[in-house]
Amino acid sequence: MKLTSFIFIIFSLIFISSCSSIPAEQRCSLDADCVPDACCHAAGVVNAQFAPDCSETLCTLECRPETLDCGFGKIQCVKNECVVIFE
C-alpha cells in the first residue's frame, strides 16, 4: 500500500511539473521561435508555428507607436515565453 501511494505521488508531481501556464502560442526556446502576431502593425508575438499567413497582405509604411513597426519594439523569448520589449 505504501509503495502504491509513493508511486502515485511521484507520477502526480511529474504531471504537475510538466504543466505549463504559458499557452502553446506563446512558448519558445529561442528568440527565433517568436514572430509578430499580425501581418501589419503587430503589437504582440506568437510562436512561429502560429504565425499568421501574410502572403497576400499589403501593409502601410507608417510607423505606429507601441507596435513592432520601425524598430519601436523587439521580439524576445523570455523564460520560455514570446514577448515584445518596447524601447
Q: Check residue 27 and report its DSSP letter.
A: B
Alpha-carbon distance 85 to 31, whole Å?
A: 12
Enter the pTM of the model.
Answer: 0.73
Side-chain-side CA neighbours of residue 78 (13 Å): 7
- Residue length of the chain: 87
Within 8 A by CB and 6+ apart from 5, the residues are none
Burial of 28 (0-12, 13-18, 19+ CB in 10 A): buried
The residue extents of the domains of the chain are 23-86
> pLDDT tens across 4-55, in order?
554 555 544 444 445 569 999 999 999 999 999 999 999 999 999 999 999 9
pLDDT at res. 9: 55
